[in-house]
A and B are shown apart, each in its own frame.
Chain A
Amino acid sequence: MRVKYRLEQEGVLALLLLLPVLLYVVLLVGVPFIMSFVYSFSNVTAGNPEFRLVGIKNFIDIIGDKVFQKSLGNTFIFTLVSVVLVIVLSHILAEVLIREFRGKWFVRFLVLLPWTAPIALGTIGYLWFLDSVFSPIDWLLRSLGLLGKPGAILGPMTNMYWLGVPGLAMASVIMVHVWRLLPLGTMILIAGMNSIPKEVIEASHIDGAGYFRRLFHINLPLLYPVIGVTVLFATLFTFTDMTVVWVLTKGGPPPHSTQVLASLAFLRGIHGGDLAQGAAIALFFFPVLSGIAAIVLSLVKKAVVI
C-alpha cells in the first residue's frame, strides 16, 4: 500500500516517468559530448592507448590546416544555399498545396515521399542518377541536343560528370540535400499557412492588396515564426549532415571540393584514426549551432504570435 501512495506523489512519479528520457539524453548525448570535449584537448588516437592532455594544440593544428579551412567554407556554402533553396521552394510548394485541386492528395503524397525513404538509400538512388557514364540526366540532355555534340550549350563531351567536376559536385550535393529537406519545410509551412485566419487574408483582398503586396505585407510577416523554425531545422540538418556528401562524393572530387566539417571529422577521426583531431573538428559545430539556435529562437520570440 505504501508503495502505491508513494507513486501518487507527483515528484516521485514524475521522476520515474522522466527517467528513460533522462538516461537517453545523458548516456547518448551528454557522455559522448563530454568525451569529445575531453578528446579534443588530448592526443588520443585509435591505435595508441596513451592519453595525454595537449591543450589547444589540436585546435591550432586544424585552424592552420588548408583542408579544414576549405571544409569550413564548404559547410557554410552548403548550408546557406540549401537553406535558402529549401525555404523558397517549400514556400512555393506549400502555396500550391493549400489550394484545392483535383489529385491534391497524390501530389501531397509525392512531396512527402522523400521523407519516408532512408537518407542513405535515397542518396544511393541519386548516385546512379548522377553516374559519370550511365546518368539518365545526361542521356536526357543528349537527346535534347544540349550535350555531346560540337556546339551544344553544355559542351561537346558525352557526359557532364556531375560528381567529378568541383562546382557541379557541390551543386549535386546541394540538390540532393534540398530534395530531402523539402518535405519537412513544406509541411511546416503548410501548417503555418493554415494557422493564418482566412478572414485576415480576405480583408487584404478587399483592402486592395495584390499577390505580392499580400505576400510581403501580410503572409510573410505572419509566417515569420514558422519560417524561423524551418530555418532552424534546415540549418541544423544541413550543417551537421554528412550522409549526402559521404554517399555521393566522399568529400571529393579533389581537392576536397565538397568536403564539409562533418565528413572531415569522420575522415580524420574514424578513417584516419586521429580521434583527438576528429573531436576538435566536430566541436566546431557547437558554438556555431548554439549561436544559430539563439538567433533564430530570439527572432521567433519577437515575432507576433496570433
Chain B
Amino acid sequence: MARVELIRVKKYFDRVRAVDGVDLEIRDGEFLALLGPSGGGKTTLMRLIAGLEKPTEGQIIIDGEVVNEVPPRSRGIAMVFQSYALYPHKTVFKNIAFPLVVEGLKKQEIRKKVEWAAGLLHIGHLLDRLPSQISGGERQRVAIARALVRRPRVLLMDEPLSNLDAKVRHTAREELKLFQRGIGVTAIYVTHDQTEAMGLGDRIAIMNEGRIRQVGTPDEIYNEPADTFVAGFVGIPPMNFIEQDDLIVGFRPETFLPSELISDKDAQRFRLKVERVENLGSNRLIYGTIGKDKVISNLSSRFNSIKEGEEHDFSVLSQDIRYFGKDGARIKR
C-alpha cells in the first residue's frame, strides 16, 4: 500500500508530447481510474509510474521516495497488461510463481503464496495448464494473480478487461472492485471505457492530449465537469451544448425534458425541433435542434407523445444547467 505523487511529469517522444505536465496524487489504498480517449497519454503515464519509461521532466514519488531513477523491479509495483503478457512457455503455476522465484523465496513459501493468490482468483484448478490452454477470462485472472502474489505497494492495470467479451467483463469488473477493497492495495486503472471508470474508480482522472483535465469522484466528474471536454466525454449520450451570447450552456440529456413534465418555475425553456426518435427499450432518445445546435433528450420509454418532425417545448431546471466560457472552462454562477 502506498501513496503515489506525480509532480509536473512530462514525457516527450521526439516532438510528440505524450504526457505534458501532469500533477496527480493517488491516495493510499485508493482505486484511481485514468480515463480518456485513445492516444490521450494514459498508458504512457502508467508506464512512467511503472518505470518502463523515463520521464523527460518532473518527479514520480512513491511513498515519499523519488523513483525516477529506480528500475521497475525495485519500485514495489505490479502491472497487469492489456494483453496479459503471460509467459507462454510457463505453466500457470510458474507464471504466478515467477516474481517470487526472482525474489529468491523458498519452494514451500512460493507454493503457499501461489496457492493463496490462485485461491483468491478461483484459478486453483488451472495451475498445471499453459496459458494457451485457458480462456481469456482465466488468463486475465492469472495475470492479476501474478501481479498480486508479491503484495505490491501499487497495482497498475492497463485496460485489463478490454479483451474479454461483454458478459465476462461485467462480472470481472465486480470481482475486481471487491477484491481490490479486500486487500486494500493502491490501484491505478487505465481505461477508455467510462462505464468501467465510473463503476470501479473511487476517483477518476480524465486525461486528454497529455494533460489531466479533471480529477474527482464519479459524481463530481459527472455532475460538476471542469470543462466542455469532460462534460462531452463522460455520459452516454454526452452533455448537450448550446451557444448563448458569449457563453456555452450545457445540460445532460436526462435533465432535458418536455415542459409539461416540469412544474418548477425556475427552469429554462427551449423550442426543440424534433428530427429523430430512437427507442432503446427502457428509454427513448429524442434527437433535435435548438437553433443551429444539435441536442439530445433522454426520456423514459413510457413518454411516447413526441413525434418526429414536430416542434415541442422542452425545459431544463436551472440547477441542472452548467455554464462554460468560449474557451471551454467552467464558469460558476
- Taking the closest CB of chain B, its distance from the CB of A87, in whole angstroms, is 19
Q: Find the residue from B79, B103, B146 having the highest chain A CB count within 10 A.
A: B79
- Taking the closest CB of chain B, its distance from the CB of A204, in whole angstroms, is 8
The residues of A that contact B88 with a CB separation of less than 8 Å are 200, 222, 304, 306
The residues of A that contact B73 with a CB separation of less than 8 Å are 205-210
Beta-carbon contacts of B68-83 to A below 8 Å, as 1s and 0s? 0001111001110111
B83 touches A207 (CB 8 A): no
Beta-carbon nearest neighbor of A220 in chain B: B89
B102: which of A200, A209, A222 is its contact (CB, 8 Å)? A209
B99 touches A207 (CB 8 A): yes
Interface residues on A, range: 20 to 34
Beta-carbon nearest neighbor of A210 in chain B: B73
The residues of B that contact A222 with a CB separation of less than 8 Å are 88-89
The residues of A that contact B146 with a CB separation of less than 8 Å are 203, 207
Complex formed: what's the CA distance from A218 to B98 in Å?
10
- Chain B residues 126-154 with CB under 8 Å of chain A are 130, 132, 146, 150
Complex formed: what's the CA distance from A206 to B132 in Å?
22
B side interface size, CB within 8 A: 26
B50 touches A206 (CB 8 A): yes
Does A197 have its Cβ within 8 Å of any Cβ on chain B?
yes
Given A197-B83, A199-B85, does the pair A205, B102 have CB atoms closer than 8 Å?
no
B77: which of A206, A213, A303, A306 is its contact (CB, 8 Å)? A206
Decide if the interface of chain A is mainly helix, strand, loop or mixed. helix
Does B87 have its Cβ within 8 Å of any Cβ on chain A?
yes
B81 touches A199 (CB 8 A): yes
Complex formed: what's the CA distance from A151 to B132 in Å?
63
The residues of B that contact A199 with a CB separation of less than 8 Å are 81-83, 85
The residues of A that contact B130 with a CB separation of less than 8 Å are 304
Binding site for A on B (CB under 8 A): 50-52, 71-74, 77-79, 81-83, 85-89, 98-99, 102-103, 130, 132, 146, 150
What would 11 A/B residue contacts be, using CB atoms closer than 8 Å? A199-B81, A199-B82, A199-B83, A199-B85, A200-B85, A202-B52, A203-B85, A205-B52, A222-B88, A222-B89, A303-B89
Closest 10 CB pairs of A and B: A199-B85, A208-B73, A203-B85, A207-B99, A208-B102, A304-B89, A199-B81, A221-B89, A205-B72, A200-B85
